[in-house]
Amino acid sequence: MITGDDIEDPAGEPAAAQALAELKLERARSKKAAKALGWKLIGRDMAEIRAERQFRFGPRTVVVRGRVPVPLPPEISMEAGAQALAPIVDPAAGRFAYAIERSAAKLLSAPDDVERRHVFEKSSFFSALEDARRELVREYQELENRRVDARVEADLGLRFYLESLTTGARAFEYFVGPTNSGKTHAAIEVLREAESGLYLAPLRLLALEVHERLTDLGVPASLVTGEERIIDPLARHVSSTVEMVDLRRDIEVAVVDETQMLQDEQRGWAWTLAIAGVRAKRVIMCGSQDGLAAAEGLAARLGIPLSVRRFERKNPLKVVDAIPLTGLRPGDAVVAFSRNAVVELQGQIRQAGRSTAAVYGSLSPAVRRREAERFRTGEAEVLVATDAIGLGLNLPIRRLVFVSLEKFDGVTTRMLTPPEVRQIAGRAGRYGIHEEGQVTTLDPRAVRFLRASLERFEPPPEGLPIWISPTDEHLRRLAAIIGTTRVGRLLQFFQTRVRRTQDTDLRIANLTDTIEVATALEMSDRFLELPLTVRCTYSRAPVPSRGNSILVLGRWGERHATDGIVDGADVTAGLGARDSLLLYEDRSRLATLYLWLAQRFPDVYVDGAAIMRVRERLDDDIHDALLQHGGRPRRDRKAPTAIRRKGPPKFNKRRLPK
């Protein structure tokens, strides 16, 4: 019972307790009412109200559901909740609808024609709205991708890639045999007798050798490589690197050397293009047994019969015991797998008392030729080289010594494959000079693997895919289909999207380096002003995708676009390097790059003759530096003194005669 004192004292405990009880009761009623409506109360002044919006985008229906925190309305009802949600949800829904409409207009080449209902529901309405935006954008991208793929398949389908290159009736022959079997010699004899012909080499130096050989035989011939052209106006024969093949000229005989390169991931596309596209009545492929299956697969795809002529090695190849560096003798060749390893080995062999010559990939053809000639004449006793000597270089090697049977292939360090071992080791024992070829290693543990690689032949699996790469015409047509002229984007699309799953007999070459070069060059808006075909050519320039050379190439591309003239000042500018040999090699690479571009844009790269003279001087500097690395060391030898031994001499019982 409430007394008068309690009423007179409103702050007393009984009144406060009653007020608190009424407040709790009111709170309980609010919670019950909110629960009935699906609301969730947060504290005293906020509530989470479930919101739902439905959108229509063409044939698609999109439903978005989730909770939205709002100030607690004075009345808990559906109408009050809707009024509280409207000023918060409606602007966000409007922005969402506008963003989707813009995305559809930007991504889709034609109106959306997919009828579908999308439902997005999360605890937060705005999270569900963001999920809906991302999903619809992804749906539009996939829809447009399917449409583009359909247009690409109709207009650029790879099923027509090889067939579009063939011209007229042709005969295919494969001269198969190991190194030193005379297959290339026999093919060149056929070429020599033809009224017109083409020789395709994997290396500039080998193309130069065949050019000189044809000329010495009285057959006028021109030379075409990436950096130089020696054109004889009376010549009907051409010696060329395989990437420079002319697919427009009709000839009688074409010789494609080192055809096992069809299986190479980086350069195999060039052999595919040359064999499939050369306009020759008779195509002779020279290669090892390892490449026969790939050649047969390509011929079958083109529908051209392939005849095979076999050659046997003219002298035996023998695996001998491992030797140390001090055991090298005149006529030996030491094979390593990097430029640094070659230069380091030169110094070690020089300290052991032997003069050396060096051959590796970053040397210009002129320097490689000089170094090879020093070894041929005996001026250099030992040749130190990378595995580049396995591609057709004819050298009087008596014994070939592997430093290791492992190499870094740009991705990982791996063991050499048996075909790689056979290709390199076969250079030992030049026929007519040595009765047999010998091959060994510096590591005794590797001799067993070496012997197994040479003695066992496992034929490659049948049905090997054919390596291909896009031509400028492919990229031009692709640009019209997907609506961009950026070469990096076109190459990326070709690499990942053009090949269908049913095109099991085709493989697209690794275009990573070309994509990186194209992307780096197209960072400049001025470079993008150049025509598509010009930018395609720049993307294939012989330049590493990182370092100073790509920066110089970018400057040249901008000058090409703005001035139309590119001088050779950058070639002679000073470049930082750790030693003089590296400095000369860096400058030589820039000179080679300039000459490569001058062959393709002679009206723009106008200093070709001057840069050729600069490179000749650089070749002299590199040659002199290699002589310092590889010449015989001068030693002040002391007069021999008598050695006093204690006790009888010791013999190795294992070496005593039995």
Query: To which H or E segment does residue 66 belong?
Result: strand 60-71
Q: Decide: residue 134, CB within 10 A, 0-12 exposed, 13-18 middle, 19+ buried.
A: exposed
* Cα 11 from Cα 5, distance rounded (Å): 11
How many residues are given for the chain? 658
Per DSSP, the residues of 68-116 read: EEEEPPSS-SHHHHHHHHHHHHHHHHHHHHHHHHHHHHHH-SS-----E
Contact between 198 and 240 under an 8 Å Cβ cutoff? The reply is yes
Contact between 176 and 309 under an 8 Å Cβ cutoff? The reply is yes
- Going by C-alpha positions, the residue among 256, 250, 282, 283 that lies closest to residue 271 is 256
Q: Residue 603 in 3-state DSSP?
A: coil
pLDDT score of 614: 87
pLDDT score of 34: 67
Q: Give me the residues of the chain with pLDDT under 50, please.
A: 1-8, 10, 575-578, 634-658
Q: Which residues are bridge partners to 445 per DSSP?
A: none
Q: Decide: residue 505, CB within 10 A, 0-12 exposed, 13-18 middle, 19+ buried.
A: middle
pLDDT score of 635: 47
Dihedral, 260, 266, 268, 273 alpha carbons, nearest 10: -160
- Going by C-alpha positions, the residue among 406, 410, 436, 434 that lies closest to residue 420 is 406
Q: Residue 330 in 3-state DSSP?
A: coil
Domains and CATH numbers, the chain: 28-156 (no CATH), 160-310 (3.40.50.300), 317-455 (3.40.50.300), 468-630 (no CATH)
* Cα 433 from Cα 397, distance rounded (Å): 9
Q: Which residues are bridge partners to 175 per DSSP?
A: 286, 309
CB within 8 A of 171, min separation 6: which ones? 281, 282, 283, 304, 305, 307
Measured from the Cβ of residue 575, the count of other Cβ atoms closer than 10 Å reads 18
* Cα 600 from Cα 589, distance rounded (Å): 17
pLDDT score of 643: 36
Measured from the Cβ of residue 154, the count of other Cβ atoms closer than 10 Å reads 9
What is the rounded radius of gyration, in angstroms, for the C-alpha atoms of the chain?
A: 37
The amino acid at 578:
R
The amino acid at 80:
A
pLDDT score of 101: 94
* Cα 102 from Cα 183, distance rounded (Å): 64
Q: For 404-442, how does the pLDDT look when each residue is reduced to its tens digit (9 = 90+)?
A: 888 877 677 888 888 888 888 888 887 667 678 899 999
